[in-house]
Structure 1
Amino acid sequence: MNRLLIVHHTASPTTHELFERVRSGAQCDEIEGVEVVTRAALGATVPDVLAADGLILGTPANIGYMSGALKHFFDTVYYPCLEETRRLPYGLYVHGNNDVGGAVRAVESIAGGLGWERVSAPVMIVGAPTKADLEACWELGATLAATISPG
């Protein structure tokens, strides 16, 4: 069974709602052979990443940047995972109250340095999530799970 790791920082009810939608999409009945593992960004470890066949990252945009928790995750796993996780498929969702562009650029820069491969465009949500935003989060989870599904 392949493993999809969701690393998230759910600092608000809104980011928690987005996380739940991503997880729901990743665990949809149509996709088989994928175990979904979730870790808070401050608790995710090098072994978690090394065991993953795909990864979804979720963060709020804080002062134009990813959360400190997600940055800590990257600081922790970067060098130990640098060679072993090249071409790891990943996806990203970001929520902010005004601008999420800086957070997206920062995450994509680090993921690019790791050699990870983005599977779909980042889900970028500003303000209160709309129905379309929630559907995009569900699709992100389903897309990553389908990408790594052995079936």
Structure 2
Amino acid sequence: MDDWQERVDAVWAAADDLGDDEVIRRIDALAAERADDDPVALFERAGARDSAGLEDAAEPLYRAALARGLTGSLRVQAHIQLASTIRNLGRPLEAIGVLDAVEAEAGELRDAVVAFRALARVDAGDARRAASEALTALAPHLARYRVSLAAYAAELGASA
């Protein structure tokens, strides 16, 4: 990990003590060390605003980070965070589409994709399908009741 990312991670580790405005200030200062179109810097700037509840300011930064070629796990994270942001802005169907587009490449973040899509489905009025998908993702993690939970989840999905 490079020094820049370590400094970004340090800001996030201290975020609860710093407050929203200071996190944004520090992340912006670190982002300014990189090119204006650096996708990772744009992603971090978006996250700082998103974390502060400034979804209107975060959305274009997430979109810019993705358009400028954000890759790997950060690309998946950006999709998840963008979807959460646009759901909070009242566009749950668009959020579902953003998450659907990245699910195949989500890897270890697949359960997070499913969880945030469930939130968007609830907002879109499809709570039964949301519960079905969330419980289907949860079932493999259970030491007991895995089979019965998976069956109930399938039953919910069939009636959604």
Same fold at TM > 0.5: no
In proportion to residue count, which structure has more helix? 2
Q: Please, what TM-score do these two structures have when normalized by structure 2?
A: 0.28
The alignment's TM-score, normalised by the length of structure 1, stands at 0.29
